[in-house]
Amino acid sequence: MTFPSRLPDADRLDPASVPSLRWGVVGPGWIAERFVRSVQRFTRQKIVGIESRNGDRAAAFARQFDIPHAFDGAMSAHPEIDALYIATPHPFHAAMARHGLEAGKPVLVEKPICVSAEETADLIECARKHDVFLMEAYWTDFLPKFSVLRKTLADGLIGDITTVLADHGEFFPPDHRIMRADLGGGPMLDLGTYVVGLATGVLGRPDHVVAQSVPAASGVDGQTGMVLHYESGAQAVLHTTLLSHTPCEATIGGRRGMITLPGKFYTPGPFTVTANDLKTRLVFEEPCSSYDGLHYQAEHMAWCIGQGLRESPIRPLSASFMAMETMDRVRIAGRETR
């Protein structure tokens, strides 16, 4: 196969096809700040409500971002809220999302969608029972970078995939909430979602999982190395840690070439396609930086709702379940080897 002279274009939404929704945000934390800032700056979506169990925190967040309504509960029932974004700590995702779905509100749930495959299956069943839109806020999938990446793989540019390599490591101090088991701590549900999500997105559900975890001082997993094996012979070699910073790079290897994604591979940025001659290269450059890219998922969800869909064609609920089920298998395998 001859390499093309350029990579495919990213899919772009027609602004006229994206309804302007009134959003309520549940959980005024770190990721909510970045989501709201991106949505307000780059889209016609409106953030009109913020909810926290701590009314003072909700009010302060509302003042910071000029949000008209602050709630200490029951925001999902408010008539001026069209859609919800759940940005609480992981163990509360399912309950807060369920409240929204039962109120008939479309829900975007920060990744991971839940803390286990069983919980994820229950939430998906709830969405289908109430016939309401549900989507995981796995923001990486909605970036232009990953639109082009998916097209490049679908076109067969690097041939049959044999290998996925990915790591994601960051250093966290002992008092960080990621060190707390009661808040879903450990690297897998935070950092590990990106490495597992890349592998399952490219290769699908693994046939066999091998993993080893090392505990942090608090008792949660500190780091995990894993190998996902596939019937085709493909392997994904992955690593995630909260004990040290790592390059956060990824490589997708095929029989005709490879794709390299420099750190942080899951954020906006470049990637390079290199042919097997190691000379022919195509480079993609992302048009925005860092967490500015969080708005793409909100626009995509609004488009889906405008189209009458109940789940995303880019991040279907089956993809969220597959990633979560794989992470369950990794955590079980990793702890068996402690």
Tokens of 190: 């935070």
Q: What's the one-letter identity of residue 239?
A: H
Tell whether the model's pLDDT for residue 61 goes beyond 90.
yes
What contacts 216, CB < 8 A, 6 or more positions away?
179, 186, 222, 242, 243
- Write down all domains in the chain, each with its CATH number in brackets: 22-138 (3.40.50.720), 140-337 (3.30.360.10)
Tell whether the model's pLDDT for residue 1 goes beyond 70.
no
How far is it, in rounded angstroms, from Cα 241 to Cα 178? 11
Q: Kindly state the average pLDDT of the residues 90-95.
A: 97
At 2 the pLDDT is 77
At 62 the pLDDT is 98
Q: What is the mean pLDDT of the chain?
A: 96
Spatial contact of 157 and 250, defined as CB atoms under 8 Å apart: no
Band (pLDDT 50/70/90 cuts) for residue 164 is: very high
Q: What is the pTM of this model?
A: 0.96
% of the chain at pLDDT higher than 70: 99
Spatial contact of 147 and 155, defined as CB atoms under 8 Å apart: no
The whole-angstrom distance between residue 260's C-alpha and the CA centroid of its chain comes to 20
Q: Kindly state the average pLDDT of the residues 235-251.
A: 98
Spatial contact of 237 and 127, defined as CB atoms under 8 Å apart: no
Spatial contact of 25 and 81, defined as CB atoms under 8 Å apart: no
Give the closest residue to 31 by CA, choosing from 288, 291, 315, 289. Answer: 291
At 286 the pLDDT is 83
Tell whether the model's pLDDT for residue 337 goes beyond 90.
no
